[in-house]
A and B are shown apart, each in its own frame.
Chain A
Amino acid sequence: DSGVTQTPKHLITATGQRVTLRCSPRSGDLSVYWYQQSLDQGLQFLIHYYNGEERAKGNILERFSAQQFPDLHSELNLSSLELGDSALYFCASSEEHGTGIGDSPLHFGNGTRLTVT
């Protein structure tokens, strides 16, 4: 158990809809990262928050947004969903502002599987 909790585990929705994925980081971790894993793809970095502030953006679509709340949990909002948005979405946390290297590895949740029909 990594200590990172993601809900829901599975989500099935229709094109055009909006969904919210939730992540609770490990206790004490200030950094939260979101990754997307599409079929046969590696994990693609979406966005990084540190202690409530956005620190970096990766290949995140404008239809997607995220935030980190004062209690450090994070939400990833996906809107105007398309079939191609179907993927596994992982949240990861780490202690430091760093990116999971050295003494601060990334701890991943079990992911949310999103299916857009």
Chain B
Amino acid sequence: DQQVKQNSPSLSVQEGRISILNCDYTNSMFDYFLWYKKYPAEGPTFLISISSIKDKNEDGRFTVFLNKSAKHLSLHIVPSQPGDSAVYFCAAIQTGANNLFFGTGTRLTVIP
């Protein structure tokens, strides 16, 4: 049972435009959400996170939005750069638990 879902396997965006990556979850007990970025032949690296007590967290060009009622979060990248081309994983966890649940990833391609 996939508790974290990324329904778009891929996304292509022009350089300079906004990239929006979406993620849905089913477990209402999740209270912390993270995005990881993965380049080929490398492991995922932590990008940004958000607690369920917030609805927005911003870090430079990256902003994560959380809509708890819809059990939905999104990652916005503005402006998108070619170096952002990677696979992005959404992850969720219930505080105190030991298991980060990951989505299947969205491959972002930023076209120069």
Contact = CB atoms under 8 A, between A and B. Distances in A.
A58 B102 CA distance: 13
Interface residues of A, number: 26
Given A42-B89, A42-B104, A43-B89, A99 B43 contact: no
A4 interface: yes
Contacts, number: 68
B45 A99 contact: no
A11 interface: no
A102 to B, nearest CB: 8
Interface in B60-112: 89, 93, 95, 97-105
Given A42-B4, A42-B89, A42-B105, A4 B43 contact: yes
B98 A43 contact: no
Contact of B41 (A4, A108, A110): A110
A24 to B, nearest CB: 13
Contacts of B43: 2, 4, 90, 92, 107-111
Nearest to A35: B102
Contacts of B102: 35, 42-44
B4 A99 contact: no
Nearest to A47: B98
A45 interface: yes
A111 B39 CA distance: 12
Contact of B44 (A43, A48, A55): A43
A2 B42 CA distance: 9
Contacts of B45: 2, 107-108
Interface of B: 2, 4, 6, 9, 32, 34, 36, 41-46, 49, 89, 93, 95, 97-105
Given A42-B89, A43-B89, 5 more contacts: A92-B43, A99-B100, A101-B93, A105-B34, A107-B46
16 contacts: A2-B43, A2-B45, A40-B9, A42-B2, A42-B89, A43-B44, A44-B102, A56-B98, A99-B99, A100-B93, A105-B49, A106-B46, A106-B100, A107-B43, A107-B45, A107-B46
